[in-house]
Amino acid sequence: MPKVKTNSSAKKRFKITGTGEITFQRSFKRHILTKKSKKRKRNLNKKGVVHQANADFVKRLLRLK
């Protein structure tokens, strides 16, 4: 029986915390930062948490379920 591969794009985008939450890095923080406010850029630094409705799908991509 062949091994089941983890989705390569998902393993680069998501991390599992110690409490089991799935986090991701927010978008829109790579370039064209001069027109964005300091408050907006500061809030984009925070890690996002995958919503419960999508958690099962992401876990399946990461082969955790």
- Per-residue pLDDT tens over the stretch 40-65: 999 999 999 999 999 999 999 999 98
Residue 3 has pLDDT above 90, yes or no: no
Statement: residue 7 has pLDDT above 90 = yes
What pTM was estimated for this model as a whole? 0.81
Domains, the chain, in order of start with CATH, read: 8-61 (4.10.410.60)
Share of the chain above pLDDT 70, in %: 100
Containing H/E element for 58? helix 52-61
Burial class (CB in 10 A: 0-12, 13-18, 19+), 7: middle
The predicted pLDDT at position 65 comes to: 81
- Average pLDDT over the chain reads 94
